[in-house]
Structure 1
Amino acid sequence: MTLGDEIAFALPLLREQALSRMTDACVVRRVVGTDVDDGGHVTPTYSDPVYGGACRVQTTEPQEDAHDLGGAGTVTVQRYTVHMPVGVYAPAIGDVVTITAAAHDEHLVDHAFRVVALLHKSQATAYRLAVQELPS
């Protein structure tokens, strides 16, 4: 048996094990347009959920990235990944992932993240979506 055969044989179990670590829940919506109020404030409009279910939030970098806004202040960016079961939906850049339940950290609930990169793999045990947290 080749290594490729062994991985193909083990992949369903490995995906099951990855799912067992997804103890959070989320809902994913796609931005479908914008609304502009009388003051010119732009608010995105969203689709119905394209996914709702198990997920896991991880930080990808232990350090933040601070950007100076040219005297107008500083913004800090922290990169995360959100893991989801393989095949549950077709992720897209710009999707918004909102955490609806978190078994081990209640402070994650209601955090929202925008998908900024799709990290596809041929033999993935989970979808790992690169995300940035949206301001609350």
Structure 2
Amino acid sequence: MSVVDLVLRGRTAAESLMLDTCTVHRPGELVTDGDGNVTPSLTLLYTGPCKIQQTLAQSSNPEAGGHQYTVQDTRWDTPVAAGVFAVDDVVTVTEAILDPQLTGRVFRVTEPFHKTGATAQRTRVEEVVA
């Protein structure tokens, strides 16, 4: 069996674990609605299967501007062919069958993923808390 065949089999296996569904938008130019609210325009990049996973069991607690934050290392997996994602793209989990607490959570891409022979895109994200 060739390396290409092995990678393709690995992709099938990785995608079988992507039980959640998400949408990804790229923020664009600012727009003002009829009420005077200013928000970025959003371009839809992807809708499809994904997986959210914390990669470390512990968090860090950096301090900035007199406020202490909790930061958890989180990874967002999508099929390799899902698209090209960039820093600040917005990921919304639209359905999470095995963990309903994930549904509706919003994440921001912090580090794009690139790898020869990847079986999935394993992108670093951080949760956006309003």
C-alpha RMSD of matched pairs (Å): 2.0
- Residue 74 of structure 1: how far off its partner (Å): 1.5
In the alignment, which of 32, 37, 50 is matched to residue 55 of structure 1? 50
Shift of 1:110: 0.6
> How many angstroms apart in 1 are the aligned matches of 2:70 and 2:40?
22
Unmatched segments (≥5 aa) in structure 2: none
Residue in 2 aligned with 1:94?
A: 88
- Judged with a 3 Å threshold, the aligned counterparts in structure 2 of structure 1 residues 33 and 75 are, in CA distance, closer, same or farther, namely farther
Give distance in 2, aligned partners of 1:28 and 1:88. Answer: 10
Question: Which digits, 9 at most, give the CA deviation of each residue in 1:25-53, with x for residues without a partner?
Answer: 0000001033579xxx8643322x10000
How many residues end up aligned between the 2 structures?
A: 127
1:1-136 matches, cutoff 5 A: 6-34=2-30, 43-47=39-43, 49-71=44-66, 73-136=67-130
SS at match of 1:22: coil
Q: Find runs of 4+ consecutive structure 1 residues off by over 6 angstroms.
A: none
| 1:67 and 1:75 in contact (8 A); partners too | yes
Is contact 1:22-1:84 (8 Å) kept? Answer: yes
Task: State the TM-score, normalizing by the size of structure 1.
Answer: 0.84
How far apart in 2 are the matches of 1:77 and 1:8? 37
Contact 1:66 1:76 in 2 (8 A): yes
Unaligned runs of 5+ in 1: none
Q: How far apart, in 2, do the equivalents of 1:60 and 1:43 lie? A: 32
